[in-house]
Amino acid sequence: MNKITIIGGGNLGKSIISGLSNSNLFEAKNITVVDKSKYNLKEVEEKLGVSTSQNIIESIKDVKWVILCVQPRQLNAVLQEIKDVLTKDQILISTVTGTSIAEINEVVPNNKVVRVMPNTGAAKKLSMTCIAANDDVKEELSIVEKMFDTIGETLIIEERLMQAATVLGASGIAFFLRFLRAMIQGGIQMGFHPHEAQIIAVQTAIGAATLVAENGTHPEREIDKVTTPQGCTIEGLNEMEHQGLSSSVIKGVMASYEKINTIK
Ligand SMILES: NC(=O)C1=CN([C@@H]2O[C@H](COP(=O)(O)OP(=O)(O)OC[C@H]3O[C@@H](n4cnc5c(N)ncnc54)[C@H](O)[C@@H]3O)[C@@H](O)[C@H]2O)C=CC1
Ligand SMILES: O=C(O)[C@@H]1CCC=N1
């Protein structure tokens, strides 16, 4: 139970490793990262003290959990490499975008697979991780849930919603950050230095998200509390909507969703 190997120490892999290595669930020495890139391995070894390897086969020996953290087009090569050495009791946890449990089981039919979609907030223990598995994977599902609880929030969903979860939760980090960047640019235009505008915009974003997260209110209820009749907030909000803010965000989300359904 206590050993885990992550295949792929790239953007997402590093975020997960950083979160897991700072949790109580796995000792850093029981976390192994395998990557083709020496540069990635050196970075995680030095920063996080986890074990590293360039040999996939060696790295999954005697390990209960194997996280697949490679790009969709790299997955088949990894599965082909491990399929004959995997033992039945090893559990695969796939973060790979757009690849279903059934598609993974076509190559490795004897292993249980849990599909997860975390985000890069994992590095700060603030991931939103959606998790899905088939009905026969109940016990392992709850362990995977505990695993990802150590790096943020988790939600168990139906596998059919995994693509939507990827757009909203994983790509969502980029979508929110683009809005944040625009706020910073507005702040600079009003007279702040970029670093001052960033401090103000970032703390305001944290405050806004925390109000909704902790009060459980609808965003519009919190918006009403800021919006003075005939004041500057409603002026700004209405101009943003005249320019298509909500509409462009929804269209962007749906474009991303259409794209993800074509990724293989
Ligand atoms: N970046 C993100 O925020 C998120 C990414 N994802 C998904 O997670 C997966 C990984 O994404 P990223 O980390 O962004 O990709 P990445 O390209 O940064 O990392 C993939 C890593 O896998 C390594 N790799 C590839 N083939 C290998 C092999 N055969 N053996 C050993 N190492 C190998 C590469 O050297 C690379 O370091 C993708 O399927 C992506 O769609 C999911 C959620 C969020
Ligand atoms: O951009 C992508 O396709 C992947 C999936 C979610 C985040 N990165």
Q: State residue 43's pLDDT score.
A: 86
Q: Which residues contact 168 (CB under 8 A, 6 or more apart)?
A: 253
pTM above 0.90, yes or no: yes
- Distance, in Å, from the CA atom of 208 to the CA atom of 224, rounded to the nearest integer, reads 12
Task: Report which of 4, 75, 9, 74 is spatially closest to residue 39, judged by C-alpha positions.
Answer: 9
φ, ψ for residue 93, nearest 5 deg: -115, 115
Report the SS3 class of residue 192. coil
CA-nearest residue, atom 23 of ligand 1: 8
Answer for the pair 42, 101: CB distance below 8 angstroms, yes or no.
no
Ligand 1 surroundings by CB, under 6 angstroms: 7-13, 34-37, 40, 56, 69-72, 74, 77-78, 95-97, 117, 119-120, 170
ipTM: 0.95
Block mean pLDDT (10 aa), the chain, length 264: 89 88 86 92 88 94 95 96 95 96 96 96 93 93 92 96 97 98 98 98 98 96 97 98 98 97 81
Q: How far is CA 210 from CA 146, 173, 205, 206, in A?
A: 23, 16, 8, 6
Sheet of 4-7, strand order: 51-53, 31-34, 4-7, 65-68, 91-94, 113-117, 127-133, 152-156
Residue 264 pLDDT: 67
Atom of ligand 2 nearest to the CA of 97: 5
List pLDDT tens digits, range 79-113.
999 999 999 999 999 999 999 999 999 999 999 99
CB 19 within 8 A of CB 123: yes
Of 168, 66, 77, 74, the C-alpha closest to 117 is: 168
31 forms beta bridges with 4
Return the SS3 of 117: strand
| Ligand 2 lining (C-beta closer than 6 Å) | 97, 166, 170-171
